[in-house]
Amino acid sequence: MREVAIVGTGMTRFGELWDSSLRDMFAEAALAALKDAGASVLDAIYVGNMSAGGFVKQEHLGPLMADALGMSGVPAVRVESACASGGVALRTALFEVASGASDIVLAAGVEKMTDGADVTDVLAMAADQETEAYHGITFPGLYAMIARAHMEKHGTTEKDLAEVTVKNHRHGALNPKAQFRREVTVEQVLASSHVAEPLRLLHCSPVSDGAAAVLLCPLDRAKEFTKNPVKILASGMATSSLALADREDPAFLDAVHRSAERAYAMAGVGPGEIQVAEVHDCFSIAEICCTEALGLVERGRGGEAARSGDTALGGRIPVNTSGGLKSKGHPVGATGIAQAIEICDQLRGAAGDRQVKDAKIGLCQNMGGSGASSVVHILGRI
């Protein structure tokens, strides 16, 4: 594989962006990434998006977005893996550049969730329709079952779940792009209403609009575009059964584990060498399960890690310095790209108040459904 770098990044603020349409947000993020790299021509575009069909009755985002950039003609493809659509856009764009077929490729993600659709109903299409969604399961319900299984097996408590929320809001309060720029306390989390027991409102990521984009090129051309490119050291992906009931251990996200194993092998680094990580905390229990499956935290100790400050800024392995999905927001198709941008910012020393000192290697992990698909990228400072 030809080596590939990220040479530009751009994203919208995440939130309820009622003044911006799907194409408005995409163009804002994509043009910011192009400007960041001083680039004006693209060989191809990948658009990560979960369900613009469900949310705003729009499929076929490739040509729509190429046109919105004033680049009609450029090959443009939408890729989807539910909430991991952004991570998959980065992966497919990587392969196109790595193959030598193209040089300058945009990997972007976008989702417009606040335009009137029944969000819970649309998101449920990421679960198994025939064995889960049809019977009324929702994603808070699925992750509540994962939380119960983790509590039973490892003694994780409701307070542990709250600690993840508190940490991520503390990080997100420092992020100008975050949907919720405010801290919360453990007491506030534990006093918020139940959504699906044991998960409370403040254990759940919000419904968000937003877009994010990164520009890729061959590593040997990176300096044409930026003084501080970021090298893509590895991309790992794995799937698991779509239906939660078909997994051996609902408290262990096997697709996350396998995707990480593949990425570590490709990069030639181990979890101990990761200095900063963005992981998929769609619910606070998800961060606990993901940090364990990634090997960043010992199995069964994800709750303890949040409680002890291990995964906070200044801790042993800072996780979700952006605020994570919980505080930064979760426009589902955009999330995987926004994670990569946070890691790029950390490696470029551009993370401001959230900077992890001298970060050289970072990881981002993006997940679909109840963990049925997972994509891990490992990025490195050059």
Cβ 160 to a second copy, closest distance in Å? Answer: 28
Cβ 71 to a second copy, closest distance in Å? Answer: 8
CB contact at 8 A, 15 and 23: no
The C-alpha atoms of residue 94 and residue 184 are separated, in whole angstroms, by 38
Cβ 13 to a second copy, closest distance in Å? Answer: 22
Residue closer to a second copy (CB basis): 40 or 129 = 129
The CA-atom distances, in angstroms, between 162 and each of 169, 262, 290 are 11, 31, 16
Cβ 355 to a second copy, closest distance in Å? Answer: 32
The CA-atom distances, in angstroms, between 141 and each of 43, 307, 332, 369, 373 are 42, 24, 18, 12, 18
Rounded to whole angstroms, the maximal C-alpha distance in the chain is 56
Catalytic residue among 169, 203, 330, 377: 330
* 83 classed as catalytic: yes
**DSSP symbol at 319:** B
Cis peptide before 229 (omega within 30 of 0): no
Residue closer to a second copy (CB basis): 87 or 324 = 87
Residue closer to a second copy (CB basis): 15 or 54 = 54
Non-local (6+) Cβ contacts of 135 within 8 A are: none
Task: Write out the residues near a second copy by the rule CB under 8 A.
Answer: 1-2, 21, 44, 50-51, 53-54, 56-64, 66-67, 72-82, 88, 91-92, 95-96, 98-101, 122, 124-130, 133, 235, 237-242, 246, 254-255, 258, 368-369, 372-373
Q: How many CA atoms lie within 13 A of 224 on its CB side?
A: 13
Residue closer to a second copy (CB basis): 181 or 262 = 262
The set of catalytic residues is: 83, 330
